[in-house]
Every structure is written in C-alpha cells, then in structure tokens.
C-alpha cells in the first residue's frame, strides 16, 4: 500500500504541476507510471489518469478564471470542435492499420518545454485584444478541429497541442492560453473518464483516490503560483516543468 501511495503521489505531482503550469493532460504522466511501476492494464491506467485530470483541470481553470486569465467564449468554440473531431480522428485511426504514434506527445512535451525556456511567449493582453472577435472565433474553430483530430488519431497530446496553437497561432498571452486550455481539458477529460469507466468498469479505488488527490493538490499549487508570477518567470517555470516531465516520461517508457 505504501509503495502504491508513493507511485500515485509522484505521478500525481508530475501531472498536477504539468496541468497547473501548462494545461498538460494528466494522462501523459500518470498512465505510463501506473503501467510501468504498478502493472496496471493500460485501459485502467488511462481511465484513472483522465479522472485525475477532471478535478485538477477544473480547479486550475477556476484559479485562472478568478485572475481573469481565461477566454471562456472562444474556449467553448474550441472545445466543441475538439470533442467532435476527436471522434472523427478516432474513426480515421481505426481505418489505418498499425498506426502507433504514442511517443509523439512525449517528444512534444520535451520540445515545447525547451521552446518556452529559449524563446518565451511575451504576448500581452493588449495585443490579444487587437484581434477581431470574428477572426478569433474562426481561429478557435480551426484550432479545435486540428487538436481534436490529432487527439483522436494519435490518442494523446491534446493539452500540449492546445497550448502550442493558443500561443503560437492564436497569439494568446501565456496565462490566458493555459487557463483556456485547462478549461477545455476539464470537459474532454470528463467525457473520456466517463466512457472509460462505462466500458471497462471502475478501476482500483486506492489508485484512483491517491492519483486524484495528489494531482488536485499539485495542480492547485502550480496554478496559484503561475497566476502570481511575471511573464518571464512563468515561461521559465513552465519550460522547466515540461522539459523535466518530458525527459522523465521518456525514461519511464524505456523501462517498460
């Protein structure tokens, strides 16, 4: 039990920091650790990770929203497109044999972390406001389609793809990008967790409880720090967290 608690706490800490700082999906951290160190079936591990993501993303979104770093209007548009095109991507993946791109999100996490350290996002809210509402909605819709299709086709990378598109394509300020990302991830994770539990049944209750509690705790801590930090500090902190998590997940994957 102590070993299980330690693994779940460590996995939740990594997932929570990734969620609170960068809107990263908990599944990218929790799943490989539960599979590798606790021997859980992959489907059960993903279900636990998605359930952990729900509350962690929700509390992070609340914290970012309270600090006015959340774009709900365009976030809802993107979320609808993500949910719809995840189904489309999943169907497309079923037609392509032997398509395994699970390592995509791991390398993306590492590279995105390095990017934030080397080339921080210094966009301001003033420059964000200069974009017309119509153009922003169109951008959100297109971005949601891209993220949803990639998530459905590859099975991972949603949080990282959203952060990349929100900062790189839509020109969001980093805090608003993360806040909008965790807002969307709350509902996508809830949908995913519900479907996993409905199909595969309830997972190990202790693993579920420990992972949810740890992820929630560290996501809350990370989100509070992120909203108080300056832009350059947040970029560096986000970059370090992503780079470390990406490297750690790669190391864990090589142990399997």
pLDDT value at position 155? 55
Yes or no: say if 14 and 37 are a contact pair by the CB < 8 Å rule: no
**Burial level of 61, CB count in 10 A (0-12/13-18/19+)?**
buried
3-state class (DSSP) for residue 23? coil
Give the residue from 137, 36, 164 showing the smallest Cα distance to 81: 137
Distance (Å, rounded) from C-alpha 1 to C-alpha 243? 30
Q: Would you give per-residue pLDDT tens digits along the chain (256 residues)?
A: 899 999 999 999 999 998 999 888 887 788 888 988 888 888 888 889 889 999 999 999 999 999 999 999 999 999 999 889 888 876 776 676 544 445 556 677 788 888 889 888 888 888 888 888 899 999 999 999 988 887 766 655 577 788 888 998 888 999 999 999 999 989 888 888 888 888 878 888 999 999 999 999 999 999 999 999 998 999 999 899 888 888 887 787 676 5
Distance (Å, rounded) from C-alpha 30 to C-alpha 53? 10
pLDDT value at position 189? 86
Which residues of the chain form beta strands (DSSP E)? none
Distance (Å, rounded) from C-alpha 45 to C-alpha 56? 17
Show the tokens assigned to 50: 């998605």
**Burial level of 251, CB count in 10 A (0-12/13-18/19+)?**
exposed
pLDDT value at position 246? 81
pTM for the model: 0.86
């Amino acid at each position: 039990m102590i070993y299980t608690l330690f693994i779940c706490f460590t996995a939740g800490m990594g997932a929570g920091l990734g969620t609170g700082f960068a809107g990263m999906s908990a599944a990218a951290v929790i799943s490989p650790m539960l599979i590798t160190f606790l021997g859980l079936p992959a489907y059960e591990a993903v279900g636990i990770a998605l359930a952990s993501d729900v509350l962690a993303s929700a509390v992070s979104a609340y914290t970012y929203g309270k600090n006015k770093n959340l774009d709900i209007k365009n976030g809802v548009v993107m979320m609808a497109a993500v949910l719809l095109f995840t189904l489309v991507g999943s169907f497309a993946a079923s037609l392509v044999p032997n398509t395994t791109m699970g390592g995509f999100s791991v390398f993306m996490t590492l590279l995105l972390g390095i990017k934030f350290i080397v080339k921080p996002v210094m966009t301001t809210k003033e420059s964000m406001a200069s974009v017309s509402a119509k153009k922003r909605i169109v951008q959100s819709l297109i971005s949601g389609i891209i993220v949803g299709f990639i998530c459905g086709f590859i099975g991972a990378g949603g949080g990282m793809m959203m952060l990349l598109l929100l900062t790189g394509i839509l020109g969001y300020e980093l805090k608003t990008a993360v806040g909008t990302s965790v807002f969307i991830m709350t509902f996508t994770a809830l949908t995913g967790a519900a479907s996993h539990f409905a199909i595969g049944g309830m997972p190990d209750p202790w693993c579920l409880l420990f992972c949810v509690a740890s992820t929630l705790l560290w996501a809350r801590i990370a989100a509070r720090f992120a909203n108080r930090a300056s832009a350059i500090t947040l970029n560096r902190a986000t970059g370090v967290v992503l780079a470390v998590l990406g490297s750690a997940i790669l190391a864990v994957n090589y142990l399997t």
